Amino acid sequence: MTAATPMGLPELLAASRAFACRDAIVATLARLLPAVEVKSLPGRISIDDLDNKDMFRPPSIGVAAVRIRPADGRMSGLRDVPVEIVAYVVTEDGPYGEGGRLVYRDELGLALCDGLLALTELPEVARWGLTDIGMPEGAEARSLISVSTEERATAYHSVTWWQMLYGQGVPFMDMDSPVPAGATARAILPGDPDWTPPPVPTP
């Protein structure tokens, strides 16, 4: 096990990729859904936030990275980090259908949720232009309000999923020494020339 070494804020920022993942999702959705306002959010929000027309202009999708689980460490010092993403979908009644047909907010909300789920299933889309990232897992959509809140005249849904960021962090050449400046970072795996098997425990 390596000893922890002090890290400044620039090093911490360079070692984490959750923020970049969120912004890559926003950029991809904005490109693929040009009729919808897509924006990044700093975290989970309340129903009152969703109802704030200064924050959202329906139809709108707000994307946040809301949870990071403990990572699976590697012998190289790199970490595989699971991140939970939530996309808030805000809709209202409007002439969105073919020929300007009136579409009610819940119909549009469900259609956008279905479309987002479909995008998370496409390998050419759901890595959001990033490398070292897994496919979304456990994706689901749900309504955020009950029928009793109908007077808001706006519908709210969310689409959530987990996504793995592979090889995150600061790598090591061995268990004690950091990679020298200019060296290429990579994981050391069984079968590599630099691989050293762990010692066999003494009975």
* CA angle 91–112–37, rounded 5-degree value: 60
| pTM given for the model | 0.78
What mean pLDDT, rounded, does the chain reach?
82
- Cα separation, 117 vs 141, whole angstroms: 8
- What are the counts of helices (DSSP H) followed by strands (DSSP E) for the chain? 4, 6
pLDDT for position 176:
47
Mean pLDDT over residues 150-166, rounded? 88
pLDDT reading at 161 higher than 80: yes
How do residues 56-114 score in pLDDT, each as one tens digit? 899 999 999 999 987 665 655 678 899 999 999 999 999 999 999 999 999 999 999 99
The SS3 of residue 100 is helix
pLDDT for position 100:
92
- Cα separation, 140 vs 146, whole angstroms: 18
Runs of H (alpha helix) within 72-126: 105-120
* CA angle 157–163–166, rounded 5-degree value: 160
